Chain A
Amino acid sequence: MADASKPSGSKGAPRGARLLVVEDEAHLAEVIADNLELEGYGVEVVAEGTAALERIRAAEHDLILLDVMLPGLDGFTICDTVRAEGHRVPILFLTARGGREDRVHGLSLGGDDYLGKPFDLRELILRVAALLRRAEWWTESQQTDDSALVLGDARVDFRAYTAQVGDKGYDLSEKETMILRCLAERPGEVVSRADILDRVWGYDAFPTSRTVDNFIVRLRRLLEPDPRNPRYIHTVRGTGYRLTP
């Protein structure tokens, strides 16, 4: 048995990561900050929307825990604004508005995960760790030399989030780029849907493995000469996908 006071999710999570907790309820902010500090993170707390936006813009944090209903500026607007400005820092919504519509709205604005209040302490810690792991993997893989993937006529640029197919250029979303990177890291090997979910979306991700399939369908349409008979991105039934460049 693992020590109950140390949730297993912290394993492999980058200690010393800097987190910004945006929460106007003083009690909640305190207990969240205490627990995250106990996990070895550096935690800064902001209680007001406009100040939070400024702190996120300063780009000093590895993860933002963002409440939605805030004085000054609401969390959805903050997320929308920083994403439009090109900030890619992971955002975990922590909010009393846990309805499905609000979740979908938050994620569609570029939020990375969504946790409705009240939530389980261990779940919070696991999700934070997963989001940090994911962000760390992505940052590291973006820093490696191989920044492109060539599949026949198609060339994917991982840094620019673009694909060039013949003489046509396409923009890729962050998730699409991440899925391709995830497959390209292990060419010729089977990568399970669970692995992809864990890498691209994080622990116990809100999307299901169907979501991965939908992304693959779109990527095939973009990159495969004949999407019905894929040459590069193969389905391994019941398991996942394999990339053969």
Chain B
Amino acid sequence: MASLRTNVWVYGFIVAIYVTLVGWWVFFFSIQGDRLVDRIVADGGVADAVAIEALQAATGESAHMFLLEGGFLGLLMLGSIALVLRAMVREQALGRQQRNFLSAVTHELRSPLASARLYIESLLLGRVPDSKRERYLEHAHDDLDRLSLLVEDLLAARRFTEKGVEVDPIAMNLDELVAPLVERLTDLHRASGATIRFERAGPLPVQADPGALERIVDNLVSNAVKYGGEAPQILVRVGAEGDRVVIEVRDDGPGLRGEDAAHLIEPFVRGGDENVRTRPGAGLGLFIVRELTEAHGGRFSLTDRSDAVGALARVTLPLDRGAVAEASHG
């Protein structure tokens, strides 16, 4: 922050010197004609109207030239300063984002690590009553699951940015894949007070990678649970719209709160200040959704709901026309 402010001051100072200099030269040449005439007269020479006009015209031209060239150079200078400052502002934003990311990942790695370790140490030290042993083991297991999910997300994000996304599409029905998944997610998120409803219109044949689709739905639902406020009411809907199938996840939380959706989808971006963490996560979920969706020729969007308060995440994928034709003929 300090370096940017210092630079703004330095550039401001340079611009001020430049404007003063150019201004001085323009002023100097604008009065130079009269001064030359005065000088000729003072030295005892004769200055007739023609000579005076010629002198004034010549110095006037010089003043114009300085004004034009000075102005042009000044614009170039301002332009380059603007470019440098913009680069610095971007770098700062990037630095802030990286710090936020590091902070989030540190927290996400260390918290489950710390609790898994304490559960296991408590067991090893014989500090756990029999009635709680199983619970401790289950919790330690959940913590390790959370850790491995994070590591998978980190690796996936790295792979996506370096090598692009690889998916392995097969012919399948979207509604048949999502229905049991939503059931599983309902059980998983019950403890957090979330209610998940499922609406389907089928069959919805698509060419898609089942693992990738599960990941998409899982991430969108987890996101709705995290950011959907207290005891969120979540609706997962799958259906067809023209030649596309659509997966929608709606929540009744506070929505995007004015945050830029495109920014929130970027990797390692999480809403708000990392010190005041409202929800767990490393800021990778939506990025992974977008990358996987686009790898299927689909589109992902995140907006505020138009029908009510809350956020609407929408994934559209191409309908598998071959399968549709086959079904209607078969």
Per the bound structure, the CA–CA distance linking A200 and B127 in Å amounts to 30
Are A35 and B119 touching (Cβ within 8 A)?
Answer: no
Instruction: Choose the segment among B19-27, B156-164, B270-278, B314-322 that binds chain A (4+ C-beta atoms closer than 8 Å).
Output: B270-278
Does A76 count as interface, using CB distance less than 8 angstroms? yes
Q: Contact: B127 with A35, CB < 8 Å?
A: yes
- Asked whether B139 is an interface residue with its Cβ less than 8 Å from the other chain, the reply is yes
**Which chain A residues (89-104) contact chain B, with CB distance < 8 Å?**
96-98
Is A70 in the interface zone, CB < 8 Å from B? Answer: yes
A69 touches B122 (CB 8 A): no
* A49/B276 contact (C-beta < 8 A), A38-B127, A96-B106, A96-B110 known: yes
**Residue interface bits A104-132, CB-to-B below 8 A is 1, else 0:** 00000000000011111110000000000
Contacts of B128 in A (CB 8 A): 34
Q: Given that A69-B107, A74-B276 are known contacts, is A121 also in contact with B114, CB under 8 Å in the complex? A: no
- For chain B, give the interface size range: 20 to 34
Question: Is the pair A5, B127 in contact by a Cβ cutoff of 8 Å?
Answer: yes
For A35, A38, A118, A120, the residue with the greatest tally of chain B CB atoms inside 10 Å of its CB is A118
**Is A136 an interface residue, CB under 8 A from the partner?**
no
Q: Give Cα distance in the complex from A118 to B147, angstroms.
A: 13
Q: Is the CB of A27 within 8 A of B112?
A: yes
Question: Is A207 an interface residue when CB atoms closer than 8 A count as contact?
Answer: no
Instruction: Give the Cβ gap from A41 to chain B, nearest Cβ, in Å.
Output: 14
Q: Which of B143, B275, B276 contacts A27 (CB 8 A)?
A: B143
Which residues of the partner chain A approach B136 to less than 8 Å between Cβ atoms?
A: 31
Q: Is the CB of B113 within 8 A of A118?
A: yes
Interface residues on A, range: 20 to 34
Q: Is the CB of A30 within 8 A of B139?
A: yes
Are B125 and A32 touching (Cβ within 8 A)?
no
Q: Is the CB of B275 within 8 A of A32?
A: no
Q: Determine whether the beta carbon of A74 is less than 8 Å from that of B275.
A: yes
Q: Given B117, B118, B142, B277, which contacts A35 in the complex, CB threshold below 8 Å?
A: B118
Which residues does chain A contribute within 8 Å of B275, judged by CB atoms? 68-69, 74, 76-77
User: What's the Cα separation between A76 and B113 when bound, in Å?
Assistant: 22
Q: Across the interface, do B277 and A121 meet the contact criterion of CB distance under 8 Å?
A: no
Q: How far is B122's CA from A98's CA once the two chains are assembled, in angstroms? A: 22
A49 contacts across to B, CB distance below 8 A: 276
Q: Which A residues are in CB contact (< 8 Å) with B62?
A: none
- A1 interfacial contact with B, CB 8 Å: no
B125/A4 in contact, CB under 8 A: yes
Residues of B within 8 A of A31 (CB): 115, 118-119, 122, 136, 139
| B259 contacts chain A at the CB level, 8 A cutoff | no
Assuming the contacts A72-B276, A96-B111, asked whether A32 and B118 have C-beta atoms less than 8 A apart, the reply is yes
Q: Nearest-CB distance from A173 to chain B (Å)? A: 26
Query: A14 to chain B: closest CB distance in Å?
Result: 20
CB of A27 within 8 A of CB of B139, answer yes
The smallest C-beta distance from A59 to any residue of chain B, in angstroms, reads 24
Chain A facing B: main interface SS: loop
Residues from chain A with Cβ under 8 Å of B118 in the complex: 28, 31-32, 35, 118, 121
- CB pair B277 A71 closer than 8 Å: yes
Q: Which residue of B lies closest to A39 (CB)?
A: B127
A18 to chain B, nearest CB (A): 21
> A42-81 vs B: 1/0 string, CB under 8 Å?
0000000100000000000000000011111110110000
Shortest B312–chain A CB gap in Å is: 24
Q: Contact at A25–B125, with CB atoms within 8 Å?
A: no
A24 interface contact, C-beta 8 A? yes
Question: Measured between C-beta atoms, what is the minimum distance from B128 to chain A in Å?
Answer: 8
A132 to chain B, nearest CB (A): 19
Proximity string of chain B (114-136) to chain A, C-beta cutoff 8 Å, 1 when within and 0 when not? 11011101100111100010001
Q: Is B7 an interface residue (CB 8 A)?
A: no
Q: Is the CB of B278 within 8 A of A71?
A: yes
In the complex, whether B103 has a CB less than 8 A from a CB of chain A is yes
What residues of B have a CB within 8 angstroms of the CB of A38 in the complex? 127
CA distance A99 to B230 in the complex (A): 32
List chain B residues, Cβ under 8 A from A28: 111, 114-115, 118
Q: Which residues of A contact B126 (CB under 8 A)?
A: 4-5
Measured CA separation A77–B115 after assembly (Å): 24
Smallest distance from the beta carbon of B130 to chain A beta carbons, Å?
14
- Kindly report which residue of chain A lies nearest to residue B113, judged by CB atoms: A118
Question: Looking at the complex, which one of B103, B112, B119, B125 makes contact with A97 (CB distance below 8 Å)?
Answer: B103
Q: Is the CB of A96 within 8 A of B127?
A: no
Q: Which residues on the B side are within 8 Å of A69 (C-beta)?
A: 103, 107, 274-277
A116 to B117, CA, bound (A): 13
Q: Enumerate the 4 nearest inter-chain pairs by beta-carbon distance, A residue then B residue, closest first.
A: A118-B114, A117-B114, A74-B275, A96-B110
Residues of B within 8 A of A (CB): 103, 106-107, 109-115, 117-119, 121-122, 125-128, 132, 136, 139, 142-143, 273-279
Residues on A facing B (Cβ under 8 Å)? 4-5, 24-25, 27-28, 30-32, 34-35, 38, 49, 68-74, 76-77, 96-98, 116-122
Residue contacts A-B, CB under 8 angstroms, 15 given? A27-B139, A28-B111, A31-B118, A31-B119, A34-B132, A69-B103, A69-B277, A70-B276, A71-B279, A96-B107, A96-B110, A117-B110, A118-B113, A121-B125, A121-B127
Known: A5-B127, A34-B127. 7 other contacts (CB 8 A): A4-B126, A31-B139, A38-B127, A49-B276, A117-B111, A121-B118, A121-B127
